[in-house]
Amino acid sequence: MNTPIYNLRPRRQGAIPDVIFMLLVANGLMFALQQFPAFSGIIHSLALWPFGSPYGDFYPWQLVTYGLLHGDMMHILFNMFMLWMFGRELERLMGPRRFLTYYLTGVVGAGIVQLIVAGMQGGGYPTVGASGGVFALLLAFGMTFPNRMIMLMFPPIPMKAKYMVILFGLLELYLGVSGNAPGVANFAHLGGMLFGFVLLRYWSRPRRRS
């Protein structure tokens, strides 16, 4: 018997579902703390540092906590807007617990890929941002609502969700390989999508009953 990915009867929620509200608040608070010199140690302890970096040390919890930090105002605004835009319906369909599990899988998966890439390229600087979880949500949205029309921001043209996911994926791959977006963890974004896809496939596989 198949184990459903989504709840058959999603509970009613407000304009901002519970988990997304929690993530918005947590990311906002952490970004606010980053602005005060007294909390400058946040980056050293919570950002994702590559193995052997001369500037900071890696700790396992950073695979989650780096997703609560952001580089600047535009960075956090874009990620939180994407979280709200693509996550609302998914949380209502998945339910809070499964939605949070999926989101964190994207964050952790993106972090793992970033550590691998940084190890291969010899990078020593930390990674911050919720983009891994956001790109995982983008993939799930495109798979759940493939024919939903989405208006892109840049350029402002309508596009079906399934084509938007493909476009974003190809763009991230191109930017990652070409190096035309320095300072952006493009392969980490792809890692979030990859780990999200694997989890969705795992949830949807048939289960045997004894």
Q: Which residues are catalytic?
A: 131, 189
- Do 96 and 112 meet the contact criterion of CB atoms below 8 Å apart? no
Helical H runs in 150-185? 161-178
Q: How many CB atoms lie within 10 A of CB 159?
A: 16
- Do 150 and 159 meet the contact criterion of CB atoms below 8 Å apart? yes
160 phi and psi angles, rounded to 5 deg: -65, 145
Q: How many CB atoms lie within 10 A of CB 190?
A: 21
- Do 28 and 75 meet the contact criterion of CB atoms below 8 Å apart? no
- CA-nearest of 168, 167, 196, 180 to 106 is 196
Dihedral over Cα of 190, 196, 200, 205: its sign: positive
- CA-nearest of 175, 144, 174, 186 to 162 is 144
- CA-nearest of 102, 131, 90, 88 to 196 is 102
